[in-house]
Amino acid sequence: MARNTFDQDETLEQGFNMYHVRRLYDYMRPYLKPIIWCMFLMVISSLLGLLGPYIIKIALDDLIPAKDLTGLCIATIAFILSLIGISWIMKNRLITMGRVGQDILIDMRHDLFVNLQKLPFTYYDNRPHGKILVRVVNYINSLSDLLSNGFVNLVADIFSIILTMVFMFVLDTRLALVSLIGVPILMSIMYPLKALQRKAHQKLSTKQSNMNAYVSESINGMRVTQAFAHEEESMRVNEHVCEEYSNAWLGAVKLNFLVWPIMDNVATLTVALVYFSAVFIFVDDISVGLLVAFVAYVWRFWGPITNLGNFYNTIINAMANLERIFELMDEKPTVHDCDDATELPKIEGHVEFEDVKFAYEEDEMILKGISFEAKPGERVAIVGPTGSGKTTIINLISRFYNINDGRILIDGHDISKVTLTSLRGQMGIMMQDSFIFSGTIMENIRYGRLDATDEEVIEAAKVVKAHDFIMTFENGYETVVNERGDRLSVGQRQLISFARALLANPKILILDEATSSIDSQTEVLLQQGLDELLKGRTSFVIAHRLSTIKNSDKIIYIQDGQILEMGTHDELIAKGGGYCHLYTTQYELLRA
């Protein structure tokens, strides 16, 4: 997927090819038994449908002239039974293929979601989330009709065309040849439309992606929009995005609507040629029953061809979306277990950075040779100006990104050579953005360790001083909170996230601005609990309020991606360098 914003069109790195069809077939393979059964039923349905015109021919040419009432009754009953058989087959086909189609969509959506779980932070950092969401939901849903009806009907229609041609040639070879004149005419018209339709549906999927991305972004940023009274501007942009989608949709639909009239006109022309040939050329040996039956077969011949035209429209639309789906599915995780990765054993928390270099973009190095050591149980604070690389360092400890050079060791193990699960499973992380899932407060805290008891959850909440405010809610820990915890204050969300991280009982604890939204009084209470909790754990703390890190065992002052100073608070104050200046400036501001 191209890196862009909601108003930039995506471009496919590769066009559609038969490989996509083969991959779609791989998803259909586990369900071949019911699919083949439905195809067999549709073939029987086509055969039953073709009996109707032949029964009419017999009635008109033989039974009615002979006044054979018994034969007419038998023919009528046979005709009715064929209709009942067709109805029964259609009912069972719809039920079976509807279930099969949805099962295939579940499998595809699952594979997409699994791959999304593996993709690194860099993937989400550079892409509108709405453009990712549209692939998992809208584009997958667009395949429903293709999988539930398209392929089964395709086989049935092809068989019906072949069988109808057999019936026509059996009835009259001359008229059968006349009825085929329209086929090359149709192909010469339809082939040029193929490229135009594909481009139109690719553009449609792109504009739909843009619209979805903007709606998602607008919902997430609604508080900011209303706070700055920018609703009119937001609506103007939305109108523009929707208009572009509407124009793309109209362009695709116009091309789709060309298919049916073209096929209908060619079919009508063919029927007219058959009538003309029967009445003016082959009139001497063409009976009324034969003509009526043959014209019915001609319409039945062009009916499946029209269905194939509709299927063509469906597959053009589906394949335009399928290209996007497989593009996301093929996105390779850049952070993954190496081939010979081993399980990281139970750690003590000894962390070493050895000349680590890192860049989000190749031409802009963020960390320029970082080296330090954190011994088990040490509390390490990382401070420095905004954009100096503090958060990047703690993200690298959890290996959310791959480093460009150097090594990061935990208890002597290179973290690039151990499994991600065994690495991250021994860490507790509280990011600056405290994300709250929809559900109860109890469930949100238990996310840190899914097998934790209620008592353990409550104890963790008490340690971080979240228990008291939780109990002020009517349902306490069973209080339901919305996505992102909208009914909670920012400070309350941070405390819940803190309890979640602490519940994991990690050997390495990472706190990125963990107390930035907590008032000073609450912070004092929280610090009391943390002093006990952090004993025996290696912790990395980033905090702009330097008063919270004075008691750290080691303070690392970083600027422009380099460590300029390292030591205790007293040592760095005595040096009078960058940390001292930062601390003194903040202290003076607080006094003022």
The residue-averaged pLDDT of 509-513 equals 82
Q: Which of 308-317, 399-408, 575-584 has the lowest mean pLDDT?
A: 308-317
The β-bridge relationship of strands 508-512 and 427-430 is parallel
Quick: pLDDT tens for 147-180: 777 777 777 778 888 888 888 888 888 888 888 8
What is the DSSP secondary-structure string of 237-256?
Answer: HHHHHHHHHHHHHHHHHHHH
Residues 6+ apart with CB under 8 A from 285: none
Cα–Cα distance for residue pair 427/100, rounded to 1 Å: 42
Given pLDDT bands bounded at 50, 70 and 90, which one contains residue 315? Answer: confident
Model confidence band, residue 56 (pLDDT cutoffs 50, 70, 90) = confident
Distance of alpha carbon 125 from alpha carbon 335, whole angstroms:
14
The CATH 3.40.50.300 portion of the chain extends over 348-426+507-517+537-592, 436-505
CATH 3.40.50.300 for domain 348-426+507-517+537-592 = yes
Q: What's the pLDDT score for residue 13?
A: 47
- Class of the CATH-defined domain 23-329: mainly alpha
Q: In sequence order, which ranges of 59-119 are alpha helices (DSSP H)? A: 69-118
Structure confidence at residue 556 (pLDDT) = 94
Using a pLDDT cut of 70, give the percent of the chain over it. 89
Checking if the pLDDT of 5 tops 70, the result is: no
Could you tell me where in the chain the CATH 1.20.1560.10 domains are found? 23-329
* Cα(365)–Cα(464) distance, integer angstroms: 37
Share of the chain above pLDDT 90, in %: 16
**Tens digits of residue pLDDT in 530-549:** 666 677 789 898 877 776 78
pLDDT digits (tens, 9 = 90+) for 232-263: 888 888 888 888 889 888 888 888 777 777 77
Contacts of 400 (CB under 8 A, 6+ apart): 120, 121, 335
**Average pLDDT, whole number, for the chain?**
82
DSSP H or E stretch at residue 364: strand 364-374
Report the SS3 class of residue 474: coil
**What is the per-residue pLDDT across 453-505, written as a single tens digit (0 to 9) for each?**
999 999 988 888 889 889 998 889 999 887 666 678 777 887 888 888 888 88
Q: pLDDT for 102-115, tens place per residue?
A: 898 889 888 988 88
Q: pLDDT by residue (tens digit) across 272-281?
A: 887 777 777 7
Does this model's pTM top 0.85? My answer is no
Coil, strand or helix at 136: helix
> Is the pLDDT score of 122 beyond 90?
no
- Domain spanning 436-505, CATH class: alpha beta
454-463 helix and 490-503 helix, angle to the nearest 10 degrees: 120
Going from the C-alpha of 85 to that of each of 45, 78, 88, 96, the distances in angstroms are 7, 10, 5, 17
Mean pLDDT for 56-70 is: 82
pLDDT at 418 over 90: yes
Tell me 338's DSSP state: -
